[in-house]
Amino acid sequence: MTEDAAQTGGGSIAIRGLRKEFEGGSIAVDGIDLDVASGEFFSLLGPSGCGKTTTLRMLAGFEQPTDGQILIDGTDVAQTPPHKRPVNTVFQSYALFPHMDVWKNVEYGLRWDKDVPKGDRKGKVDAALELVEMTEYAKRRPNQLSGGQQQRIALARALVLEPSVLLLDEPLGALDAKLRHSLRAQLTALQRRVGITFVFVTHDQEEALEMSDRLAVMSKGRIMQLGTPRDIYQYPQSEFVADFLGVANLLDIEVSEGAGGTAPIRLGDFTLDAQVPAGHLSGPGRAVIRPESVHLEETDLTGDNRLPGMVERVVYLGSTSQVYVRLPDGSSVQSLVTNAVHDEPWSSGDACRIRMPSDALRVLEHSDVHAWSDADSDVKAG
């Protein structure tokens, strides 16, 4: 694919009421609505079994929806077989042909595309290899390449067909951590270059936060929250999303006034100001604050949104430390402290004050959503 060819627009997706119930009654996708703009890097993020892959497979046409619609560039693709859809898929396993060299692997799909004259194939394959920076490896066999290089060939093989939408199912999942990191940046840069829509499936929160323009967090076949990485991280609406994306301090609180905006809440015997969503009733609820927003201070500091605590445990991580602080009501919060050379480190047993700024302390809209299932916890821990 040439860069010019990629800038032709197209590749918008509209999903309406999409549902998939497998034989035996297992509901993998439970009525999702989703719009992906042309040229967007969009991720489906969630724990194992939440329905990400099934959604992707319905987009690709490998799986038939039980209900709902998928429109690509405004056209309902229900009756369109996979190879006629303007999409292509890259899987976790590269599935390259071992007996063909890299060049032939990339050319393979073009052989079946009647719209591409034989004479055009060379230019397209060369351009696709250049796009993934693998030109010099054209004559190698797949077993003479590293895992990351093989995945780049799999990408070239998908891109050479010039899809409007590229579907990526955990494409970095089989690679080691270091390679995954460098490929994230390469993949994002590649998407910007080709300008086509990417729909990326992952259970790795960091991956989704780093790479996506927008993402949908899924659980049990549903979309729990949809937005930019920043919005979802900073303003999680539910306990599930707060907990799945990064580290979250979740606190049992009482909302004093059910007003939207900054309003007083009770945490044990203390009154603090917090962000309370419009429509939240006064009474019990849960609030979230990220560890980097919990500030540790000396005991003599006083002022709003501060309360006393006792350092329980310090985990030294080099540039930062995780400091666990026990609050007077018995709950525990985690503070992320930057380790500057001159700072006196905190130790367990230290008395302290913690400050939780009112704009970072947010009462959740839905605090009754989902306890972790065992399977979910395994994925998060991993």
* Contact residues: ligand ATP, CB under 6 A: 22, 26, 28, 46, 48-54, 203
Can you tell me the distance from the alpha carbon of 3 to that of 120, in angstroms, rounded to the nearest whole number?
Answer: 16
CB of 111 to ligand ATP, least distance (A): 30
CB of 364 to ligand ATP, least distance (A): 23
CB of 139 to ligand ATP, least distance (A): 35
Can you tell me the distance from the alpha carbon of 266 to that of 281, in angstroms, rounded to the nearest whole number?
Answer: 14
Residue 168 in tokens = 């990526």
Start-to-end C-alpha separation, the chain = 37
Residue 140 in tokens = 């190698």
Which single residue is written with the structure tokens 């540790």? Answer: 296
SS3 192: helix
- For ligand ATP, give the closer residue by CB, 22 or 97: 22
Residue 115 in tokens = 């719209």
CB of 24 to ligand ATP, least distance (A): 6
Can you tell me the distance from the alpha carbon of 214 to that of 223, in angstroms, rounded to the nearest whole number?
Answer: 13
Quick one: 74 exposed, middle or buried, by C-beta within 10 A (0-12, 13-18, 19+)? exposed
CB of 339 to ligand ATP, least distance (A): 35
Q: Where are the alpha helices (DSSP H) in the chain?
A: 3-6, 52-60, 102-111, 118-131, 147-159, 177-194, 205-211, 229-234, 239-244, 374-381
Can you tell me the distance from the alpha carbon of 259 to that of 169, in angstroms, rounded to the nearest whole number?
Answer: 42
- For ligand ATP, give the closer residue by CB, 124 or 203: 203
- For ligand ATP, give the closer residue by CB, 92 or 135: 92
Instruction: Let me know: does 70 contact 58? Beta carbons within 8 Å.
Output: yes
Bridge-based pairing state of the strands 27-36 and 75-76: unpaired
Can you tell me the distance from the alpha carbon of 320 to that of 305, in angstroms, rounded to the nearest whole number?
Answer: 23
- For ligand ATP, give the closer residue by CB, 54 or 238: 54
- For ligand ATP, give the closer residue by CB, 50 or 145: 50
CB of 49 to ligand ATP, least distance (A): 4
Strand partners, 254: 266, 284
CB of 50 to ligand ATP, least distance (A): 4
Instruction: Let me know: does 140 contact 98? Beta carbons within 8 Å.
Output: no
- For ligand ATP, give the closer residue by CB, 44 or 352: 44
- For ligand ATP, give the closer residue by CB, 49 or 142: 49
Q: Containing H/E element for 335?
A: strand 332-338
CB of 29 to ligand ATP, least distance (A): 7
CB of 380 to ligand ATP, least distance (A): 12
- For ligand ATP, give the closer residue by CB, 54 or 335: 54
Which single residue is written with the structure tokens 């070239």? Answer: 156
- For ligand ATP, give the closer residue by CB, 52 or 353: 52
